Chain A
Amino acid sequence: MKKIILFMILSLFIINKGYTAQEEDDLKLIEELGISMEEEAGYKYPYIKPEAHLSLGYRFIDAGSPGKALEYEYLKDFPRIEGEYRVFKYPHRLRFNLDLNNHKDYHGDVAYAYGDLFLSRWVDNTIFHNLNNIELVNLDPSSPTYRIDRKDGDKKYGVRTGMYSSLMRLKAPDFPAHTYVRTFHAEKTGNYQQRSLSGSGYFNDIERATQERKIKWMTGTHEVGANSYLGHAEVEFSHIKKRFDAKGDDVIFDSYGPSLYHPSGGTFPHNQVPELEGSANVIKVHSNYNEKVVASATFSLKEKENMTSGAKADIFHAAGSVQWTPLTRLSFFMRYFHTDSDADNPETTAISDLNGSVTNYPGTVKSSVSKTTDAISLTGRYNPEPGVTLKVKYLYECTDRENAEDWNLKNKTTKNTLALSSGLRVIKGIDLRAEYIRKSAVKPSYSTEPDSSDKGTVSISMAPVPGINLFVNYIISREKRKDLDFSNTQDARNRNTRTDNLMGSGVFRLADNLSMTASYAYMSYRVRQDIVYNSIRLIDKDVQYKDVTHVYSASLDYAPVEKLDILALVSHVRSYGDFYPGSGDLLSPVSVSSFSQQKIRETVYSLSGDSECMNGLSCGMEFSYSDTKDVLDNDHDSNQDGHAYIVMLKFKKNLE
């Protein structure tokens, strides 16, 4: 904590630097600008006509077999409304925008301001997400030990998510001091598939179950704050309240077989969604941005509580940055980030069965991991010539954990990152960028964290002739880990990963009324690592996992005659992947690999056109079709074939 105090004092010192000298300069400036201010006082605002347009239409949906096709569309026929209204009559400014596809998929945005004294904005963004109904497969229905219980048949699932944000801000007259109220709500309503383990929950009695779960969840954040310009610094203080409410099936009860704590079995809750409450106090301070040295600091203190189990967490964040520009072409940046997370979970838990009978589970809860993380980065940027940028960044991170041994984690993990990047304008129209990042870690905790990694990026953008823009980007990344630790198993050691991403795109303006865009991306992720199986400590060496994806897309924008615009787009994704265990025990009598194979294709076509049909009325049509194909038709994965169409007719009128 001494470091934080020192950092904070330094920040304030820098902020306060040169205050007196600047004060005199500012007074002189006011004096110099006095005449022009008087001139501006006589300024009269001209009359500005309100602007508005309204578009009405209808969406026809054919979703006989949707699967994952058009995953984020609510697949029901519905009228569509889109419109915008803007009015400016000083001091009033009002803007209203609505884009309604249906009652579960719409976007609304309203902003009103009164001069500079009052500003408000409200945004409602509501989307619908079609969710999977995973089909469990039992390879031997006669087995008494391994069973399935599928209670939701062919039920269709989907969740409507409404994201509402609002801001109201008041400004003091004649001074930049503000108070504000900001809210954000994410409300989820609908149903999804709940998977769970029934039976007794022991290895000799495994019953996988699926059932419908209805939800009405609300995550709400409310913030009240004030900020002000104070000469050479600006300060903001805010208080935030956050709450998560779980309604609907927040607790599900099902019968369980006999187990250690319930010798006769019973009906118990499972997959409980807890209600949460939290609050935060935040202070932000920064200096003026137009000085040679610019600094900012943020301090926040947060508290969170799980209202169901009583688990708590206190989090303290301190962050700051300093920018120093000694020369026009040379800048240095320092950033510091500190997090102190103190978790406090209960030492015991209890379950109440459906009849209210309580069973205590003494001493079975591991203390959660509390930790402190410090990260400091230093960046230098140099522009030796116009169009040339060289940048060096060094980042040091250190994490100290409490209770780490209980979780087979390391008490202390440190990471060092060095990044070198350059940007070069070779000639006018050709820009080249390159970056190399080297990371190394001491005592990484999780298997997916590497001891060392190297990442290289190179990209080139070209405009060889007028009307043609080309972009190519390649990223390669490799990670290495040498001492994987699967608790008490010393023979599993290595993990290597490789990532390749190649992207290319081109924009071709073929004629004044015709342009085409095409892009391609290749993405590959490969892992080779040792993995371990439980009872006999079976170690499978050099197991490979891979995912390879090709993404193609092309679009055409064509205006064959005046007031007619046609846009066509097609995108196609091909992906395949597998993992390759080597142990014979995993390959016979059925290969574990077969549960994880995947080969999918997704194609989306869309075509839209707009034309003025009569007297300022614009007529349009949009068509989109999506097709997903589970090529392997693997019963064990979560992929399904599907296709769906949307056809929309619309009429748009600009209103005066």
Chain B
Amino acid sequence: MTLWRRIFFLFIFLIAALYGCEALKSSKSLMPIEEYERMLIGRIDANYIGTNRCLSACHSHDRIRRNFEASTMGAQMSAQSHMPLVNCESCHGPGSLAVEGITRELVADDDQEGKETACKYDTFIDLKNLPSQAKSLMCLKCHSANAGFNLHNWNAGAHATGDVSCFDCHDVHAGSCLITQLKDTRDMCLKCHQKQAAEFSLPSRHPVMEKKIFCTDCHNPHGTAGEGLLREDTLKETCTRCHGEKEGPYAFEHADITDDCTACHNNHGSVNNNLLKVREPFLCLQCHRGHNTSSSASTMVSKGAYYTRCTDCHSQIHGSDLPSASGKGRFIR
């Protein structure tokens, strides 16, 4: 079985490599999709005028310009960078209509009078009122070739299908640093995910509200192969990024229930210790028969031993490599 999988994997790799080599021969860097932007503003006679006739001409001391030029995308404004040129018109559309009738003389006259010559802003793409998928497309047209491949699963992901666009979390004019700061992610996520905000306030919780860990430690908001936008392929792989001591495989497994950590744990927060969904012993009694309750064992002391916390004795409940005294896998050793 394993050998078959290896052969299959090798087959996929070879096809991808062959396809890639063939495609590489005639490929080139991405270019902005000019026609798409012209279509969005509704005037196919609009044309691109370049940054030097836009920011440099009218907004030379604008904070937006400074921040943008200091950013990753700004670093691509130079052809020296060998990347697709990203400038104002890459997102706002062709600017020829906005500067129609504006001459150098008019700008100079206005400048002498201490005022800034206004562009016709309504001729740009109306970014704020675009449908969410069109907003995202403004970014995706270039970020298809995303270096980190973190948008690999964007298109059919929960956010893309749920009318969430790049603009909802990213503001390219917020500052020079376009890398999202981890400490900002809490508020970005919880402004929509209010149920999770309440769960993170419960007595047993992952410390997201305290900004000690972050939503992105477990989730990839840009889309994932599985459900729940989990950072790894499966829930267990996501949890064991940090909780590696519970990963296994073990000689004595807890069947396959441990593949789904949420069978027992509320991963955001819970009123019960250790993020448990329900308290012991009921947690275990949902699936397992309880110990003796009658005859000699029905005394008060036996109930105290058997029905406070099952994990007092079954302390290796996630899996064990050592047998119990009876030689079986009871997770007690």
Contacts and interface: CB of A to CB of B under 8 A. Distances in A.
Closest 7 CB pairs of A and B: A219-B244, A201-B325, A319-B225, A321-B156, A521-B198, A140-B301, A309-B321
Given A30-B31, A121-B179, A273-B245, A200 B325 contact: yes
Interface in A322-354: 322-323, 325, 328-329, 331, 333-335, 337, 339-346, 349, 351
A637 B145 CA distance: 54
Interface string B220-237: 000001110000011000
Nearest to A128: B212
Given A285-B16, A333-B156, A97 B181 contact: yes
A289 B143 contact: yes
Interface string B268-301: 0001110001111110011111111111011111
Interface in A263-322: 268-274, 276, 281, 283-286, 288-290, 294, 296, 298-301, 304-306, 308-314, 316-317, 319, 321-322
B84 to A, nearest CB: 8
A364 B323 contact: yes
Contacts of A532: 289-290
Interface residues of A, number: 232
Contact of B322 (A217, A314, A351): A351
A301 B152 contact: no
A147 B328 CA distance: 23
Interface in A144-176: 145-146, 161, 163, 167, 169, 171, 173-176
Given A125-B213, A127-B213, A585 B332 contact: no
A140 B299 contact: yes
Listed residue (A260, A290, A340) with the most chain B CB atoms within 10 angstroms of its CB: A290
Interface stretch (A53-61, A103-111, A615-623): A103-111
A145 B51 CA distance: 84
Interface string A180-220: 10001010100000111100111100101000000001110
B155 A589 contact: no
A206 B313 contact: yes
Interface string A532-556: 1111101000010101010101000
Contacts of B27: 229-231
Listed residue (A169, A174, A301) with the most chain B CB atoms within 10 angstroms of its CB: A301
Interface residues of B, number: 160
Interface string A359-398: 0010011101101000100010101001001010100000
B103 interface: no
A386 B28 CA distance: 37
State the majority secondary structure of interface residues on B.
loop
A535 B295 contact: yes
A638 interface: yes
Contacts of B30: 176, 229
A46 to B, nearest CB: 7
Contacts of A349: 251-252, 321-323
B20 A235 contact: yes
Given A134-B312, A596-B279, 4 more contacts: A139-B304, A235-B19, A298-B152, A349-B252
Nearest to B250: A311
B203 A136 contact: no
State the majority secondary structure of interface residues on A.
strand
B271 A313 contact: no
B13 interface: yes
Given A237-B13, A244-B244, A343-B253, A553 B281 contact: no
Contact of B75 (A93, A306, A325, A519): A93
A639 B225 CA distance: 39
B321 A272 contact: yes
Interface in B157-190: 157, 160-163, 176-177, 179, 181-183
A379 B287 contact: no
A255 interface: no
Contacts of A436: none
20 contacts: A8-B12, A23-B26, A97-B181, A139-B300, A139-B301, A143-B299, A176-B147, A260-B326, A276-B248, A301-B6, A311-B248, A319-B233, A321-B153, A401-B256, A446-B287, A533-B291, A535-B293, A585-B293, A592-B307, A602-B203
B115 interface: no
Contacts of B148: 167, 169, 180
Contacts of B321: 272, 274, 306, 308-309, 311, 349
B322 A136 contact: no
A86 B256 CA distance: 49
Interface in B38-96: 48, 50-52, 66, 69-70, 72, 75-83, 85, 87
Interface string B1-36: 110111011001101100110011011111111101
Interface stretch (A32-40, A508-516, A557-565, A647-655): A32-40
A512 B102 CA distance: 38
A173 B82 contact: yes
B149 interface: yes
A224 to B, nearest CB: 14
Interface string B233-273: 11000001111110111111101110100010000000111
B300 A589 contact: yes
A475 interface: yes
